[in-house]
């Protein structure tokens, strides 16, 4: 049966709302005792407190555990001393980077002990309200529960705990936007809702931060930054250098002519599996490899390393590299606490801008995780990466992109032949995972995840699915955190093979697999107007490829020909798969030497063979158009 919920959301738990409350009216966050008491005592608008909490933690208190940036409780009060100690431990020396110790501020202003502020949500909210009120008063702005939230702009920026003016501005803008639009969050205990309300203009208060942002930008080296206006992006170039005697001894990326050659049509979301500072050191190493952007966890700060026209070595698939921008996010795929709200916000602003500028579709096949990038050969499948992993909130991220993944879907009961989109929700979606604290068998605590578990039969006791490409050594599939073979992730589309009760079967990597999809609370929704591909009549099986390579005759030099290499998976005649791109580029960008003027090099070899890009499993794949029949889903 589904994983049990070990702890309810603090707001719902405090009001003793039962676990079955998902069917009840939504709980109004602003009316809860914790927020109203703090708002009354410190004369802060309750909407400001609720929206600050949503912007910091999405109304979670994390059971007294700190975030990766040292924040505690629903208001994310930062323990500055602990953060400084962690930084010093990483580097072996004191770190000069500034830290805003909002936990200490809250303790001094509210009278609560640091321990209470960390562990008691009500005290935590009181502490943040005290900071807001103190800051508002010191700035000469009016107090009062009925004051316009916009008049609290500078105070909101201050309580964020963020150190850069750009990050503070992003946070404050987001809080006011949330108050204006309202917010809804489904949890395991029920639904939380913040009502939309009118908000004025922050006017001069915002101008103060804008001037500080502009001053910070003026002090940095200028470069060919490709980012939206108002987003503070630093230029830290990756070196393009020849480091050996041979023309192919160079790094750490390739020069190109994008978006025209090769075409630019994807963005790959990575996590660093490391710290921001260490990754910046690596991207500046000419013998290493480069990607396009890096984003810091604590404040969402962004660095750009490559011009958009050039090609980073980030995806482990040269075809994808040629057509994609790579964005690295500080953090670890096995520990989702690194994915902060300010990181999501700034990443989404950047991606939304890039997608609009370069006409990149905002869907899960073009804004894809590194864990969706296919290998180029069957032998390479086990070594492909699995970041950003099971704890990246794709549904929330696409909402921030303005491309809600539920758009165009229906909650009707699915039928065979229809396409379903996996949409389990994130908060409250607890799936079995092992590998916690580096142990292969230790279960994770109940953490929200972005996937549904795939099984061999419609039964909780059935084995999880074994991806034969990942498990080429014959070991069975598992729930280990890095074993993504038995997962269908949020936003990905699949064709229904069968439905039995609350279980749905889909075609997946050449097999039929099952996931729990209850009628009353579905984890997948029918995608309307979807297209599918099915092997043509007379073909028993067809191959799947990890890239759309040209035919041999397209190459001027026969020595350049890259052979087609089918992956492990074979799609059988009765199976169908979601068609996610009808016109992927058929090409191979040849770049073997350092000098871009080398004759016959740095050229895009374009073929005439037509491919379709499909959602074949937990990764995308390519099939030959001549092998399949494309049609509307049933």
Q: What is the 3-state secondary structure (H, E, C) of 415-472?
A: CCCCEEEECCCCCCCCCCCECHHHCCCCECCCCCCCEEECECCCCCCCCECCCCCCCC
- Under 8 Å between Cβ of 107 and 86: no
Picking from 149, 148, 165, 145, the residue whose alpha carbon sits closest to that of residue 157 is 165
Kindly tell me if the per-residue pLDDT of 93 is higher than 70.
Answer: no
Is the peptide bond prior to 259 cis by the omega test (within 30 degrees of 0)? yes
- What tens digit of pLDDT does each residue of 136-183 get? 999 999 999 999 999 999 999 989 988 888 889 989 999 999 999 998
Instruction: Identify the pLDDT of residue 97.
Output: 57
Q: Is residue 184 within 8 Å of 221, Cβ to Cβ?
A: no
Output the pLDDT for position 427.
81
pLDDT of 26 reads: 73
CB 300 within 8 A of CB 160: no
pLDDT of residue 217: 76
Domains along the sequence of the chain with CATH: 10-215 (1.10.530), 233-632 (3.40.80.10)
Helices and strands, counts by H and E, the chain? 14, 32
Of 619, 625, 469, nearest in space to 534 by CA: 625
What is the band of 1 on the pLDDT scale with cuts at 50, 70, 90?
A: very low
* Token digits of residue 447: 């953490």
For residue 401, give Cα distances in angstroms to 28, 176, 351, 489: 26, 18, 7, 18
What pLDDT sits at residue 21? 34
List the single range of 4-13, 385-394, 412-421 with lowest mean pLDDT: 4-13
Contact in structure between 331 and 271 (CB atoms under 8 Å): yes
DSSP string, 297-365: TTT--EEE-S-TTSEES-SS-HHHHHHEEEEEESBBTTBGGG--HHHHHHHHHHHHHHHHHHT---STT
Q: Give me the pLDDT at residue 70, please.
A: 83
Question: Range with the lowest mean pLDDT among 217-231, 234-248, 440-454, 510-524?
Answer: 217-231
Q: What is the pTM of this model?
A: 0.88
| Per-residue pLDDT tens digits for 487-501 | 999 999 999 999 999
In sequence order, the 6+-apart residues with CB closer than 8 A to the CB of 103 are 72, 77, 78, 79, 80, 114, 117, 118, 127
User: For a pLDDT cut of 90, what percent of the chain falls above it?
Assistant: 78
| 582/600 Cα distance (integer angstroms) | 30
Per-residue confidence (pLDDT) for residue 338, from 0 to 100: 82
């Amino acid at each position: 049966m589904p994983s049990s919920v070990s702890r309810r959301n603090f707001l719902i738990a405090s009001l003793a709302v039962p676990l079955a409350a998902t069917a009840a009216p939504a709980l109004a966050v602003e009316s809860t005792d914790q927020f109203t008491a703090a708002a009354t005592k410190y004369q802060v608008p309750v909407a400001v407190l609720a929206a600050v909490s949503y912007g910091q933690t999405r109304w979670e208190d994390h059971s007294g555990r700190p975030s990766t940036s040292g924040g505690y409780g629903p208001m994310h009060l930062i323990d500055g001393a602990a953060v400084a100690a962690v930084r010093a431990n990483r580097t072996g020396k004191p770190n000069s980077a500034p830290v805003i110790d909002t936990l200490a501020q809250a303790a001094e202003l509210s009278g609560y002990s640091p321990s209470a502020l960390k562990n008691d949500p009500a005290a935590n909210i009181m502490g943040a309200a005290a900071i807001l009120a103190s800051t508002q008063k010191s700035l000469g702005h009016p107090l009062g529960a009925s004051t316009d939230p916009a008049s609290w702009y500078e105070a909101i920026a201050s309580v964020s705990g963020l150190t850069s003016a750009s990050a503070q501005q992003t946070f404050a803008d987001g809080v006011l936007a949330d108050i204006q639009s309202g917010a809804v969050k489904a949890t395991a205990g029920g639904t939380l809702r913040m009502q939309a309300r009118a908000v004025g203009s922050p006017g001069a208060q915002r101008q103060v931060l804008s001037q500080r942002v502009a001053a910070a930008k003026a002090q940095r080296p200028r470069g060919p930054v490709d980012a939206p206006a108002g987003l503070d992006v630093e230029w830290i170039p990756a070196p393009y250098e020849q480091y050996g005697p041979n023309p192919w001894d160079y790094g750490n990326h390739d020069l190109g002519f994008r978006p025209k050659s090769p075409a630019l049509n994807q963005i790959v979301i990575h996590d660093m599996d490391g710290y921001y500072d260490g990754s910046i050191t690596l991207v500046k190493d000419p013998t290493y490899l480069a990607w396009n952007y890096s984003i810091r966890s604590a404040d969402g700060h962004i660095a750009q390393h490559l011009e958009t026209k050039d090609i980073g070595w980030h995806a482990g698939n040269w075809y994808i590299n040629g057509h994609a921008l790579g964005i690295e996010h500080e953090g670890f795929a096995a520990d989702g606490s690194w994915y902060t709200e300010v990181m999501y916000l700034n990443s989404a602003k950047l991606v939304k801008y890039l997608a609009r500028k370069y006409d990149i579709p905002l869907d899960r096949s073009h804004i894809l995780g590194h864990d969706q990038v296919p290998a180029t050969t069957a032998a390479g499948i086990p070594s492909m990466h699995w970041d950003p992993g099971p704890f990246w909130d794709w549904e929330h991220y696409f909402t921030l992109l303005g491309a809600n993944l539920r758009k165009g879907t229906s909650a009707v009961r699915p039928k065979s032949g229809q396409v379903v989109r996996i949409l389990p929700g994130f908060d409250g979606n607890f799936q079995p995972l092992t590998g916690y604290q580096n142990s292969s068998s230790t279960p994770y605590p109940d953490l929200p995840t972005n996937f549904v578990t795939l099984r061999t039969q419609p039964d909780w006791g059935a084995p999880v699915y074994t991806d034969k490409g990942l498990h080429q050594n014959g070991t069975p599939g598992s729930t280990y955190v890095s074993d993504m073979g038995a997962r269908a992730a949020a936003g990905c589309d699949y064709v229904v093979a069968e439905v039995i009760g609350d279980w749905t079967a889909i075609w997946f990597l050449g097999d039929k697999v099952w996931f729990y999809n209850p009628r009353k609370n579905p984890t997948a929704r029918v995608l309307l107007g979807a297209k599918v591909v099915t092997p043509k009549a007379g073909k028993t099986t067809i191959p799947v490829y990890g890239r759309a390579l040209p035919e041999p005759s397209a190459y001027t030099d026969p020595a350049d020909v890259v052979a087609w290499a089918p992956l492990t998976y074979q799609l059988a005649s009765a199976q169908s798969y979601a068609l996610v791109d009808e016109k992927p580029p058929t090409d191979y960008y040849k770049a073997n030497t350092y000098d871009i003027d080398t004759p016959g090099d740095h050229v895009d070899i374009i073929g005439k063979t037509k491919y379709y890009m499909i959602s074949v499993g937990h990764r995308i794949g390519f099939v030959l158009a001549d092998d399949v029949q494309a049609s509307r889903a049933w």
